[in-house]
A and B are shown apart, each in its own frame.
Chain A
Amino acid sequence: MSRLKNQNYKGYGLSKGKEREQRASIRFKTTLMNTLMDVLRRRPGWVEVKDEGEWDFYWCDVSWLRENFDHTYMDEHVRISHFRNHYELTRKNYMVKNLKRFRKQLEREAGKLEAAKCDFFPKTFEMPCEYHLFVEEFRKNPGITWIMKPVARSQGKGIFLFRKLKDIMDWRKDSRCSDDQKEEIPVENYVAQRYIENPYLIGGRKFDLRVYVLVMSYIPLRAWLYRDGFARFSNTRFTLSSIDDQYVHLTNVAVQKTSPDYHPKKGCKWMLQRFRQYLASKHGPEAVESLFSDMDNIFIKSLQSVQKVIISDKHCFELYGYDILIDQDLKPWLLEVNASPSLTASSQEDYELKTCLLEDTLHIVDMEASNSLRADSYCS
């Protein structure tokens, strides 16, 4: 429960001489109204500020960041929940670019074997600028399925599968590359990615894994992996015969929620523990261990690939949601990284997972430590 504000604060402590009071509360701000709000309000010593009030901790959304980060002064102890240019990791076209570059670098420095560890990303081409490269690859592999994803949208919007070039003619005409401008462009930026046609199925259904990684800083790289996560199932049995059926192929909960089969009570999710047990009973514990260590490799390599590119501001931290797909050979593939993973709970179990996740995140961010340091500095 939030404590009522009954102490006076005069700014961040800029006027050092005047204030001798020990500040006992941490002021937080957020626009999200879900599990995050519950967790923040419950935290002892944390107090909400609204509107234009000054804050020590802001769980912001990416649009605010884009508009305000560059001209907001933040004291040393202040923390904000995104990195300025997180899109290097989270926008599909940038991530691919960074990963490809990192892979080349690894190959130069450490050889082919080491570079092969970066092969957790299905072949991807940026559209429209890499259209011709894509066509070459397309012709080399006739008959396989490709998936088109918009670069910057989420929740499964705008994604479709195709096997014929004519389905993507729109991206052919305009072959200039488009950067992250804000103005309207005639054709939206997409990536074309090789579709994984042999996903691991449970109960005949396709699923993907959502895993959470918290990055406290990029230089040095300090990242935390949350032990829990979940598997999201599609509602219908997997088949390659109907690539138009979004509900079969896309596992985002947002898409599944609109499926005619969707029953809200189900939630279509399995917690990671349950998934591990299921795999262990089918393939043995060693196979499961090896799968999870391959996944660790994905997290590490992907973060390393953007380490030098992301502006590592000490005020920033970020909680990423990684989407991983497992294929029938138990190889994990990285689908994408989300900078703002959904914190809305779809069930009681989900609620518990997300609140614990956020509580642990806040423990690591440890506002309390910097708060007491500041408080000490006032009392002499």
Chain B
Amino acid sequence: MWQEESDLSLSIAQIVQKLKGSNLYAQLERQAWASLQRTDIKLESLKEDIKRFFKTSGWEKKLQNAVYSELSVFPLPINPAVPPEHLKEPLVYMRKAQGSWEKRILKSLNSMCTELSIPLARKRPIGEQKELLNKWNEMGTDEPDLSHFRPVYAPKDFLEVLINLRNPNYENGDSLGFRTHLGLIQVPLKVKDIPELKELFVELGLTTGQLGIDDSTQVPPELFENEHVRIGQKVLVEQDSAAAQQYVRQGSPTALRAELWALILNISSQPEDILYYEQLKTNVIQHDLLVDSLIYKDVKLTASNDDYYFVFEDYLYQVLLCFSRDTSVLSHFAYNSASPPRSYIRGKLGIEEYAVFYPPNGVIPFHGFSMYVAPLCFLYNEPSKLYQIFREMYVRFFFRLHSISSHPSGIVSLCLLFETLLQTYLPQLFYHLREIGAQPLRISFKWMVRAFSGYLATDQLLLLWDRILGYNSLEILAVLAAAVFAFRAVNLMEVTSLAAAEAVLADLSTLKVMPLLQIFLFATVT
């Protein structure tokens, strides 16, 4: 009781601390001052009156959303005795592994730099700046020579690192004990089993209406869809983040999705935000980064070749180039096990005062990175809004898919969850695939790292991402991966090689996500 109270006051203090520097705080202050003009604000009951005013004018709601947003991103309170590295990642061996992985990436980047004699960053000459400004809306037409650039790493390189992760304090004894992991991931993290997942994803149950199932053409809309849409509209009118998050667990109607996601992520396009984006754009125009070429290459290799996302090629450049210069992204490294790579001004290697983060946002893109942005282009076409949404999605979710950590939504846990689900509930299939040298994770890893972007049809992908936002967790990716294997189990039992298994699972574009999840979680006899 005492602990709870002190936890609560600590949380409140920490949230207030965080919000003090924010735009919202300044706005609330201004509003409070302005409200003094109003006749219903009396000096005797100033505090109460202002509070009442905030409630009726919707400012309290905005504050509520901001608080909720802070809590979603990082659970509070943070015990002040905890050192900052522990906030990033509590387990030492994970931190070490992440550190050495980062060293490798940076080394690869630096060697590419020296090989091609291209500086990591350079200021653009005025002529080039003008040209880029003119071409800003159609950078896709540019065809720079990218043949010498290679992606810094691909998901499969990252998988190899994860496979080799070991907890030095965990001694398994005999290699084939009862608790041996037959899969690729060999670290003992706690993952949920199906009963626990059923509890977590209770709204996906058979008796609850879902978009993606109960809105199909055979189902009369009066049964579920109409009411659901009505509730969604109400949620938007109320502008309540928490309600929106709860709501999208059952899926978001297509027409309301863009607004609902913005509400959940607490994004509102203020003039300051648009200005901030324009500033980033100016940074892009003025300076050229090596990372830009990597981004170009990635977009050309992945999104541009996609049957559906090629249309948005130009938007992808506009978002990703700005993203790499956005230093506000650095703040997420407080809770990300990764750390931004550091580089030094030429000639000042090792001297701390000349250290800079490279790229400015600390995130080095890898092969497939642009696919995080592509589906969002379907919802937002105003560049600064699209940018904000992507940035928020990245610092809340996507970063976990390519950094080594013990977080339940981190990629390591997702891999382990996937393998455990398969091993426990489809043991025959798992064993068979292992025997033929087709470890299931080798196939599903790329799906999870990209949050299935580019593998599922867009409408299905958006239904999946609805649930990521709704449950504030990426675990659903692992569940879906297992559900896909379960669905194709019959065919997979007949294959005799990794290549054949890949072929069976090569095309996910016809799959319907929600029925698969529902069947796997709620309708399979366990």
Contacts and interface: CB of A to CB of B under 8 A. Distances in A.
Interface of A: 202-205, 233, 236-237, 260-261, 263, 265-270, 274, 277-278, 280-285, 347, 349
B378 A284 contact: no
Contacts of A281: 254-255, 257-258, 378-379
Contacts of A265: 305
A261 B141 contact: yes
A261 B139 CA distance: 12
A266 B458 contact: no
B310 A268 contact: yes
Contact of B312 (A203, A236, A268): A203
15 contacts: A203-B377, A205-B311, A237-B137, A237-B138, A261-B141, A261-B143, A265-B305, A269-B307, A270-B308, A281-B254, A281-B378, A283-B255, A284-B255, A285-B254, A347-B307
Nearest to A203: B311
A204 B314 contact: yes
Contacts of B311: 202-203, 205, 233, 270
B466 interface: no
For chain B, what secondary structure do more than half of its interface residues adopt (helix, strand, loop), or is it mixed?
helix
B304 interface: yes
Most buried by B among A237, A260, A268, A347: A237
B458 A277 contact: yes
Contacts of A280: 254-255
Interface string B363-383: 000000000000001110100
B326 interface: no
Contact of B255 (A202, A204, A285): A285
B278 interface: no
Nearest to B308: A274
A230 to B, nearest CB: 11
Interface residues of B, number: 25
Interface of B: 137-138, 140-141, 143, 254-255, 257-258, 304-305, 307-308, 310-315, 377-379, 381, 458-459
Contact of B141 (A236, A270, A285): A236
A164 to B, nearest CB: 25
B141 A237 contact: yes
Given A261-B141, A277-B254, 19 more contacts: A202-B311, A203-B377, A204-B137, A204-B138, A233-B311, A237-B140, A261-B143, A263-B304, A266-B304, A266-B305, A267-B307, A269-B307, A270-B307, A270-B308, A270-B311, A281-B378, A283-B255, A285-B255, A349-B307
A277 B459 contact: yes
A205 B255 CA distance: 22
A203 B314 contact: yes
Nearest to A283: B255
Contacts of A203: 311-315, 377
A247 to B, nearest CB: 10
A144 B261 CA distance: 41
Contacts of B138: 204, 236-237
4 smallest A-B Cβ distances: which pairs? A203-B311, A237-B138, A284-B255, A281-B254
Contacts of A278: 378
A266 B310 CA distance: 7
B305 A263 contact: yes
A193 to B, nearest CB: 26
A186 B130 CA distance: 48
Contacts of B258: 281
Nearest to A266: B310
Contacts of A233: 311
Contacts of B458: 274, 277
Contacts of B255: 280-281, 283-285
Most buried by B among A265, A266, A269, A347: A266
Contacts of A202: 311
Contacts of A347: 307
A263 B306 CA distance: 11
A193 B350 CA distance: 68
A280 B137 CA distance: 24
Contacts of B381: 282
A261 B141 CA distance: 7
B458 to A, nearest CB: 7
Nearest to B139: A237
Nearest to A267: B307
